[in-house]
Amino acid sequence: LYFHIDLDAFFASVEQVDQPELLGKPLVVGALPGNRGVVSTCSYAARRFGIHSAMPISEAWRRCPQAVFLPVRMARYDEVSRVVMRIFESFTPDVLQVSIDEASLDMVGTEALWGGAAAAAARIKAAILEQTGLTISIGIAANRYVAKLACGLRKPDGLVLVEPGQEAAFMLSLRLADLWGAGAKTQQRFAELGIRTMKDLAAYNQALMQSLFGKAGGQFLYLAARGQDPGIYGHESARKSIGTELTFEEDSEDRELLEQAILDMCQQLCLRLFQDQKGACGVQVKLRYHDFVTLTVQASQPSVYSCLDEICKAATGLFHAKWNGHAVRLIGVSLFNFSTEARQAELFGGATERAGALDKTVFALQQRGLGKMTRARLLKRPSDKDKPPAPD
């Protein structure tokens, strides 16, 4: 059997563990009121006001001004997440981490150790609560997909077991809106096609489904509707891209400011690349205008970008190739096509020695938390780049 485990209102719950006086209160973790942004997670008390994840923070504020609003402390949640995953691993060696707050456990063969499914689930819940103060919800089923859906059914602190052989019947008991993998657009298509229930959906054969929703999409829906695992967590694959993006508090058409944002983001990404000892052959820039129209441009080359400067140049060039001069709401940069033979020597010191040396200085400073490069220094080239940045 598979156990799908989900931490309840994770970010909000961590804040409540760290600040017990917040327990039971409406708590919203995400953007701060007055800023652009959305709710990341909120406590169950906040949900009673109609607040939910991805809601604009202004709307959350309107619904419950007396709520406590806290910023996202991702480093802290990562830390707690690692503790939780380690506890899961004490119950079975086969833990598939799905996200920061979810995991899928293969519990086959652990009966002798932990007893039946219900007993094992109780032990896991107790261990997590005791060691972290957090509650979890667990779904148990013969495949990972059904286990995941079962997990979402009763929260918080839930436990739902789907008896093997009952997968198809279980699916029929769900609402169409609960079908994981069919989001807003697909739900709209369902409505247009007159599909209103899981039963309606399960009536479609595979060929018809694929003609309507594409090869992969149709296959997914066909299997999911029957409670067969469409393979959502199939291959444990390495990360394929890293990226960062920024929504400005006010839309901007200031060229220097936009370029500066790109340079800052390239620097962040380079640091991560450096820490991971990877090289990237591809750069992508993303732009969002005031009207939310979003576009992307990318470029890739046969070999790895060899230094911060090269990545910045590529990103800035892509930006100018796309930007129409209108006010920009968001800029993003990401790197992809990681080189398999990423050699750090080539990456940060080889061909372009000076730039490489500069990069190293920047990274060394950042890693020691000793301040940042100034804007001017990042912007100025090439006369400035021979000198290492002053450490103040």
Contact with DNA (CB under 7 A) among 23, 25, 33, 260 = 33
Does 324 sit near DNA (CB under 7 A)?
A: no
Interface segment toward DNA; rule CB under 7 A; list 238-246, 252-260, 309-317, 358-366:
238-246
Nearer residue to DNA within complex by CB, 269 or 355: 269
Does 184 sit near DNA (CB under 7 A)?
A: yes
Nearer residue to DNA within complex by CB, 282 or 389: 282
Q: What is the DSSP letter of 203?
A: T
Residue 189, number of CB atoms within 10 A of its CB: 14
Total number of residues binding DNA (CB under 7 A)? Answer: 57
Does 214 sit near DNA (CB under 7 A)?
A: yes
Contacts with DNA in 85-104 (CB under 7 A)? Answer: 98-102
Count Cα atoms within 13 angstroms, Cβ side, for 354.
9
Strand order in the sheet with 2-7: 95-99, 102-106, 2-7, 136-141, 159-161
Does 206 sit near DNA (CB under 7 A)?
A: no
Closest by Cα among 278, 260, 261 to 335: 278
Please give the angle made by the CA atoms of 337, 259 and 289, to the nearest 5 degrees.
Answer: 85
Rounded to a whole number of angstroms, the minimum distance from the CB of residue 215 to DNA is 4
Does 127 sit near DNA (CB under 7 A)?
A: no
Q: Is 102 a catalytic residue?
A: yes
- State the virtual CA torsion across 122, 181, 246, 57 in degrees, nearest 10: -70
Rounded to a whole number of angstroms, the minimum distance from the CB of residue 153 to DNA is 13
Nearer residue to DNA within complex by CB, 332 or 356: 332
Element (H, E) at 252: strand 241-252
Contacts with DNA in 270-309 (CB under 7 A)? Answer: 282, 284, 291-292, 294-300
Distances (CA, A) of 392 to 14, 239, 256, 368, 369: 35, 35, 23, 12, 11
Distance (Å, rounded) from C-alpha 40 to C-alpha 269? 23
Write out the two tokens for 65: 């001004």
Contact with DNA (CB under 7 A) among 200, 245, 253, 346 = 245
Does 40 sit near DNA (CB under 7 A)?
A: yes
At 82, the amino acid letter reads: R
Rounded to a whole number of angstroms, the minimum distance from the CB of residue 333 to DNA is 9
Contact with DNA (CB under 7 A) among 66, 237, 324, 383 = 237
Does 194 sit near DNA (CB under 7 A)?
A: no
Nearer residue to DNA within complex by CB, 98 or 168: 98
Which of 15, 21, 59, 102 does the annotation list as catalytic?
102
Does 246 sit near DNA (CB under 7 A)?
A: yes
Does 252 sit near DNA (CB under 7 A)?
A: no
**Residue that the structure tokens 């993998």 belong to:** 181
Does 78 sit near DNA (CB under 7 A)?
A: no
Nearer residue to DNA within complex by CB, 4 or 125: 4
Distances (CA, A) of 147 to 106, 163, 178, 272, 374: 11, 11, 13, 34, 50
Distance (Å, rounded) from C-alpha 28 to C-alpha 361? 39
Q: What is the largest CA-CA distance in the chain?
A: 71
Please list the active-site residues: 102
Residues engaged in binding DNA (CB under 7 A): 31, 33-38, 40, 53-54, 56-58, 98-102, 180-187, 214-217, 235, 237, 239-247, 249, 282, 284, 291-292, 294-300, 329-330, 332, 334
